[in-house]
Chains A and B, each alone.
Chain A
Amino acid sequence: MPDPYFQHDTTGVKRMYALEMINITKEFLGVKALDRVSFKVKKGEIHALCGENGAGKSTLMKVLSGLYPTGTYDGEIRIDGKPVSFRNIVDAEQAGIAIIHQELALVKEMTVGENIFLGREPRKFGVIQWDQLYYEAETWLKKVGLTISPQTKIHSLGIGQQQLVEIAKALAKQANILILDEPTAALTESEVEILMGILEQLRAQGVACIYISHKMPEVFRLADSITVLRDGKSIVTLSRAETNEDEVVALMVGRELTERYPYVKKTLGHVVLEVKNYSVWHKEKPMKINDSIHITVRAGEIVGIAGLMGAGRTELAMSLFGAYEGKAEGQVWLEGKQVHIRSVQDAIRSGIALVTEDRKRLGLILGMDVKTNTTLASLKNISRLQVINQNEELKWSQKYVDELKTKTASLETAVGTLSGGNQQKVVLAKWLMAKPKLLILDEPTRGIDVGAKYEIYHLMNKLAKEGVAIMMISSELPEILGMSDRIYVMREGRIVKQLSHDEATQENIMMAATGGE
């Protein structure tokens, strides 16, 4: 009888699975984020988990780390062959799972040592043994190649060093299964080398590492096996030896373009936006988030900006809109005139509008009603001597509710109670009312239903036809391909490729975005 917990690998040696996730299905209100995903990691293996933004990688890891407790998903998790169920993160940690998050989860005001042992401080009769804590912290720091004192406060460290502290913290938990979610996003070349070294050591010690990364060169340098997720399904698990970068990228994006996009060929007008040699500095550190950007957008054109998360697209949009705190250099020309945009007010005055990626946090005032949100950016146009003409306000907001087919009980309904698609329509209405020449859309259809998506696509085409220049940032490749007249691909703060509508394919965009060959 074949033992289900053992399998013969290429060398013919029986190796046990450290982790098996079998038929994991996770639904959010009827939408399947994970659909019968199976994922198995052997001991002493570095296993890369690849997939586009939104493919389900993070959801899967949240299931594994106990963030989504047992019962909120279907399927089975086994560790060392034994079925387990986690009620919370502590359960998962006790089972030997440690996760290193993409966003740093360190307490900035505490020392390195305190962070490494946060919640697990060595104590005697409830009293923290500080000497022991700092002594042990130092040994863990040495393992990750950090020579700093464990009494240093986190906020005085650079992002790369913080990432290494985060790794030391995970190691200190003596985890058997280590999850790394985009660990190199903030690291310099030499720090990446250190990390690679640590991971190879861990592999030798028999730790199972799950390595989530968009960066193909890293994946192919480190991983023993690669599992590709797509649209919430586990597509395939390959061993590194039997595949190559091209195949993995193709598998990541491989879905058929079943959704239709209402692309229309447009007649382009004059140049509306011209950005020359534009760089944006990080708001705290001396590093460039955007470097030597050149972009043009014409009237009536939809220009797509593709790239992976963290490529610097949102920062570029915010900076052009005068809303990014970091310093910007270079030139911005609007309709043939050089402009210096220092604030959002400047941007609105010059005819720029920005629909932000996070509508709940940045786009809307959720407690306020539909009409107040609609008119918020253009109150000047409906006021005289600072007094708002409330009839004009009703008229305009009703006009946009009708035009965009926003489903709302009334104009006095708080926008927080509307569905995502209708909320996004209110944000769009706010900026349409400001009559922009250049409309920047950052992830305009994120988290909204299909019906509303198409209405927004049609609206974009209509606006382009009216001569508005549209710059659309999107992480959804089909959307970029389906809607853009021209596409810029960004990677690590730079424009690495420009493609026309006809040239662009999912593969060549993904290749440019991941820096593959």
Chain B
Amino acid sequence: MEIKAVIEQQPKKKNVFGKIDIRAYTMIGALIAIWIFFGMLNETFLSARNLSNLFTQMSVTAILAIGMVLVIVAGHIDLSVGSIVGLTGGVAAILSNWMGMPTSVVILCTLLAGALVGLVQGWLVAYRAIPAFIVTLGGMMIFRGALMGITKSTTIPIFDAQFIALGSAYFTDVFGIILAAMAVVALFVSTFRKRKSRQQYGFTVSPLPFELTKLFVISALILVFVVTMNSYKGIPFPIIFVIALALIFSFIATKTTFGRHVYAIGGNVEAARLSGINIQLHTMMLFVFTGLLSAIAALVLTARLSSATISAGQMYELDAIAACVIGGTSLMGGSGTIIGAIIGAMVMTSLDNGMSLLGMETFWQYIVKGSILILAVWIDIASRKRKTN
């Protein structure tokens, strides 16, 4: 006779402050600790100029990590994103430089190319059941090879000023302030609409003073960010891409049926299938998303470097995976957040940036980054174990 262990549920203490994601706060805490550490060792680290650089540097990794989170949550992996960045960057440079296409056409065709390679890989993974590791490992080599082929292994410079602006322009101070004001208003409106709607359904809401404090803290952070950026050259253009994409994909992940289904697939694929979820279609779409996001990252990177090279994007897939994992995404699938991955990307970039400022030798930088990655997961696993015991 099989008797299942009966686990008595622990009565959870209702937190007066509502739901607080402890993991997210720990990660933010770790990030701040890293910043203070580098800030103390080298005062230029926390200067407006360096922070502005840091945000620009992290944008490519962050954009890739956004797509990677969902793929990992569904229980797959995408090793090809770095090569897709290289390939689509090459496509963009060829269209812009060799063929003299206007920026809008370049953007459109580049995004299309990214989505297309993602579609092919996704189809192979989802409908032909080839492991994603293999498909994307193959893709990593194929796309790199294709890049060398189409660019004849040369570096293609970009002259189109509009295109270059995508990666290296700044918003003017006034526009930055307007953006900040809009963000704050949107934040307040959405919070209060949500409260009202919950009250209409008769659900409890967090106490108003707590909610207001939270709103004011976030608003203040937005303001500090904009003012800091404005004291240098303004908000860097690529950061807006990151923020917009993070918002869109967070919405997809948490508020839509698609996102819910992706988490369900990663949590238990058999149960998801028996709940009527179309596993194959969802899986394929995830790879379309990573392809598309890689193309966006490629536009930003190519514009920032104002050229496409055959080594562009090399090893970026590993940075993106590391960012996800540091940000709390489980490689077993089923859990992970976009915001976590963004913070993970920030941690990785801060380490890069800080160690370079300190003049540490490259070999040390690799060793430290690798150790931090392992350490982060170690702590995560240890804390989860403690929780279940």
Q: In the bound complex, do residue B270 and residue A362 qualify as a contact, i.e. CB atoms below 8 Å apart?
A: yes
Is the CB of A450 closer than 8 A to any CB of chain B? no
In terms of DSSP, what is the predominant structure of the interface of chain A? mixed
Partner of B274, one of A59, A356, A386: A356
Q: Are the C-beta atoms of B12 and A447 separated by less than 8 Å?
A: no
Q: A344-B273, A387-B256, A419-B9 are in contact. Are A368 and B3 (CB under 8 A)?
A: no
Pick the residue among B5, B255, B264 that contacts A390 (CB under 8 A): B255
Q: Which of A25-33, A167-175, A460-468, A490-498 contacts B (4 or more CB under 8 A)?
A: A25-33
Q: Which residues 373-397 in A have Cβ within 8 Å of B in the complex?
A: 376-377, 379-380, 383, 386-388, 390-391, 394-395
Least CB distance from B70 to A in Å reads 15
A413 within 8 A of B: yes
Residues in B with CB closer than 8 Å to A379 are 257, 260-261
Q: Choose among A54, A354, A367, A391 the residue that contacts B203 (Cβ–Cβ < 8 A).
A: A391
Nearest chain A CB to B282's CB is how many angstroms away? 12
Q: Find out whether the CB atom of A409 lies under 8 angstroms from the CB atom of B267.
A: no
A407 vs B273: C-alpha distance when bound (angstroms):
26
Residues from 1 to 43 in B contacting A, C-beta threshold 8 Å: 1-12, 19
Please measure, in the bound complex, the distance between the C-alpha atom of A28 and the C-alpha atom of B4, giving whole angstroms: 8
- For residue B112, CB closer than 8 A to chain A, the reply is no
**Residues of B close to A213: CB separation below 8 A:** none
0 or 1 for each of B233-255: is its CB under 8 Å from A? (1 = yes): 00000000000000000000001
Per-residue contact bits, chain B 277-312, to A (CB 8 Å; 1 contact, 0 not): 110000000000000000000000000000000000
Contact: A29 with B275, CB < 8 Å?
Answer: no
Which of A56, A363, A386, A420 makes the CB contact (< 8 A) with B6? A420
Q: Is A267 an interface residue (CB 8 A)?
A: no
The answer to whether A365 and B2 have CB atoms under 8 Å apart is no
**Is A428 interfacial (CB 8 A cutoff)?**
no
Known: A55-B1, A447-B2. A410 touches B12 (CB 8 A): yes
Please give me the residue from chain B that is nearest to A348 by CB atom.
Answer: B276
Q: Is B268 in the interface zone, CB < 8 Å from A? A: yes
| B281 vs chain A, min Cβ distance (A) | 10
B367 shortest CB reach to chain A, Å: 34
Contact of A409 among B4, B12, B334, B335 (CB under 8 A): B12
Contact A362 B274 (CB under 8 A): yes
Please tell me if the beta carbons of B201 and A366 are within 8 angstroms of each other in the complex: no
Chain B residue with Cβ nearest A344: B276
Any B CB within 8 A of the CB of A185: no
**A394 with B1: CB separation less than 8 A:** no
A409 in contact with B11 (CB, 8 Å): yes
Is the Cβ of B270 less than 8 Å from the Cβ of A388? Answer: no
Q: Which residues of B contact A8 (CB under 8 A)?
A: none
Which residue on chain B has the smallest CB distance to residue A434?
B276
Q: Is the CB of A409 within 8 A of B263?
A: no
How far is A31 from B2 in the complex, measured between Cα atoms in Å?
A: 11
Q: How far is the CA of A409 from the CA of B260 in the complex (A)?
A: 22
**Residue B232, interface by CB 8 Å:** no
A372 located at the interface, meaning its Cβ lies under 8 Å from any Cβ of chain B in the complex: yes
Q: How far is B12's CA from A377's CA once the two chains are assembled, in angstroms?
A: 27
CB-based contact B274/A391 at 8 Å: no
**Chain B: which residue is nearest A26 at the CB level?**
B1
A387-B255, A409-B10 as given contacts; A394 in contact with B3, CB under 8 Å: no
Check A430 for interface membership: any CB of B closer than 8 A: yes
Q: Is the CB of A386 within 8 A of B263?
A: no
Given contacts A386-B256, A388-B260, A390-B255, contact A447 B274 (CB under 8 A): no
Q: Which residue of B lies closest to A394 (CB)?
A: B203
Within 8 A of B (CB), among A43-79: 54-56, 58-59
Chain B positions within 8 Å of A360 at CB level: 4
Asked whether B258 is an interface residue with its Cβ less than 8 Å from the other chain, the reply is yes
CB distance from B19 to the nearest CB of A (A): 8
Q: Which residue of B1, B5, B270 has the most chain A CB atoms within 10 A of its CB atom? A: B1
B271 at interface (Cβ–Cβ under 8 A)?
Answer: yes
The reply to whether A407 and B274 form a contact with Cβ atoms under 8 Å apart is no
Q: Which of B4, B203, B263 contacts A420 (CB 8 A)?
A: B4
Report the bound CA distance from A476 to B375 in whole Å.
51
Least CB distance from B129 to A in Å reads 13
A196 within 8 A of B: no
Interface centre among B12, B255, B267, B335 (most CB of A within 10 A): B267
Contacting residue for A365 out of B256, B267, B278, CB 8 A: B267
Contacts A59-B1, A388-B256, A408-B9 given: A354-B263 contact, CB under 8 Å? Answer: no
The reply to whether the CB of A202 lies closer than 8 angstroms to some CB of chain B is no
Is B9 within 8 A of A361, CB to CB?
A: no
CB distance from A379 to the nearest CB of B (A): 5
By the criterion CB–CB under 8 Å, are B7 and A419 in contact? yes
Contact between B274 and A29, CB atoms less than 8 A apart: no
A391 touches B268 (CB 8 A): no
Contacts of A412 in B (CB 8 A): 19
Q: Which of A28, A55, A379, A420 has the most chain B CB atoms inside 10 A of its CB?
A: A379
CA distance A192 to B268 in the complex (A): 39
Q: Which residues of B contact A232 (CB under 8 A)?
A: 1
The answer, yes or no, to whether B214 is at the interface (CB within 8 Å) is: no
Q: How far is the CB of A30 from chain B (nearest CB, A)?
A: 9
Residue of A33, A376, A409, A416 near B1 (CB, 8 A) is A33
Asked whether, in the complex, the Cβ of A447 is within 8 Å of the Cβ of B3, the reply is: yes
A354 with B274, Cβ < 8 A, contacts A376-B264, A418-B9, A447-B4 known:
yes
- Please, how many angstroms separate the alpha-carbon atoms of A59 and B3 in the complex? 10
Chain B residues with Cβ below 8 Å from A366 are: 267-268
Task: Give the complex CA separation of A386 and B276 in angstroms.
Answer: 15
Q: What are the residues of chain A within 8 A of B276 when measuring CB–CB?
A: 343-345, 347-348, 377
A401 beta carbon closer than 8 Å to chain B: no
From B199, which residue of chain A is reached at the shortest CB distance? A391
Q: Does A364 contact B (CB under 8 A)?
A: yes
Q: Does A139 contact B (CB under 8 A)?
A: no
Contacting residue for A388 out of B3, B203, B257, B274, CB 8 A: B257
> Distance in Å from the Cβ of A215 to the closest Cβ of chain B?
21
B272 within 8 A of A: yes
Asked if A417 is at the interface (CB within 8 A of a chain B CB), the reply is: yes
Q: A354-B274, A420-B4 are in contact. List 15 more A-B contacts (CB 8 A).
A: A29-B5, A31-B3, A33-B3, A344-B275, A345-B278, A361-B268, A362-B270, A368-B267, A372-B264, A376-B264, A379-B257, A388-B255, A391-B198, A409-B11, A422-B9
Identify 11 residue pairs between A and B in the complex whose beta-carbon atoms are under 8 Å apart, listed by A's number.
A232-B1, A321-B274, A343-B276, A344-B273, A368-B267, A372-B263, A386-B256, A391-B198, A407-B9, A412-B19, A419-B9
* Top 6 A-B residue pairs of the complex, sorted by shortest distance between their CB atoms: A365-B267, A28-B3, A377-B275, A348-B276, A33-B1, A365-B268
